Chain A
């Protein structure tokens, strides 16, 4: 059977490799549930049948960073915990994205004190900030859609030959 006959029989579409890869990536964003305080409860609620994060292909919350590409930092990050959050982030494979969920994570929230990091952007590259204290599950889904939008605009070669993250922790 020649190529023409085969294509007529089975059908075909045209696309670019970048578009196909981006589409696959954005439809299967697997979150790392970094639930530290009250926001974590809302994050859990986002996975229940009512809000159903599975609609976005993101229901696979595995408690190992090796299989995740989205970190949802849901809760108050203290200076002590920052080391742990960063270590888990470093263990996630590239490409990866970060949602700062809620007031505490984004800006320290009401904890304007010596012990709480006033925004995780001080040690992590944040893609989307989610407002609320805690944000409702819809708001988390909204952030997830914003991440999907960002991924859909990415190109596969953006992540090619990307250097490994510097794993050393600072001591200052």
Chain B
């Protein structure tokens, strides 16, 4: 059986209507799933003996700007057994910026989720150490959001005093 069909069948059997969309493009497989089911799906993908997605390669976000469901959280997970990378997307409702953490399922997700929090302001509920990563602590904006100007907001980042 084809790897992609295997994955889609298994996830559909397990999650039914929570699996919102299946997209295959340029050899990649993307599954869109209800954002409330992301932990359940992660545990399933990791523990299923035929799938064994043991590695989380990346977590990131998308800010769609004016779209109704503004934010999407994207996971890239890899199975050594299948030699296959799967993309999982979770659309967040409206302006909602909260989703459950998967940092305890895949340890590597710890830093990726911190990055996503730093740059997009998405809060991962239950994350053990959700701090800023690239931007200084106390910075109140999230630079990869669509409404953040490329040149930044004047005086939002501290500089040492000028010496005369």
Interface residues of A (CB under 8 A from B): 79-80, 82-83, 86-87, 112-115, 117, 122-125, 165-166, 168-172
A-B contact count (CB 8 A): 55
B152 touches A115 (CB 8 A): yes
Central interface residue in A114, A117, A165, A168, by most chain B CB within 10 Å? A114
In the complex, A80→B159 CA distance in Å? 8
A123 touches B157 (CB 8 A): no
Other CB < 8 Å A-B pairs besides A123-B160, A170-B159, 17 of them? A80-B135, A83-B158, A86-B160, A87-B160, A113-B150, A113-B151, A114-B148, A115-B135, A115-B143, A115-B152, A117-B159, A166-B163, A168-B161, A169-B161, A170-B158, A170-B160, A172-B155
In the complex, A82→B163 CA distance in Å? 14
A114 touches B159 (CB 8 A): no
A112 touches B151 (CB 8 A): yes
A interface SS class: loop
Cβ of B149 < 8 Å from any Cβ of A?
yes
Interface residues of B (CB under 8 A from A): 134-136, 143, 148-153, 155, 157-163
A113 to chain B, nearest CB (A): 6
A2 to chain B, nearest CB (A): 53
Central interface residue in A79, A83, A87, A125, by most chain B CB within 10 Å? A79
A114 touches B152 (CB 8 A): yes
- CB-defined contacts of A114 to chain B, threshold 8 Å: 143, 148-153, 157
User: What 8 pairs between A and B have smallest CB-CB spacing?
Assistant: A114-B152, A86-B160, A79-B157, A170-B161, A123-B160, A169-B160, A123-B159, A125-B163
- CB-defined contacts of A117 to chain B, threshold 8 Å: 159
A165 touches B162 (CB 8 A): no
- CB-defined contacts of B151 to chain A, threshold 8 Å: 112-114
B159 touches A79 (CB 8 A): yes
A169 to chain B, nearest CB (A): 5
- CB-defined contacts of A169 to chain B, threshold 8 Å: 158, 160-161
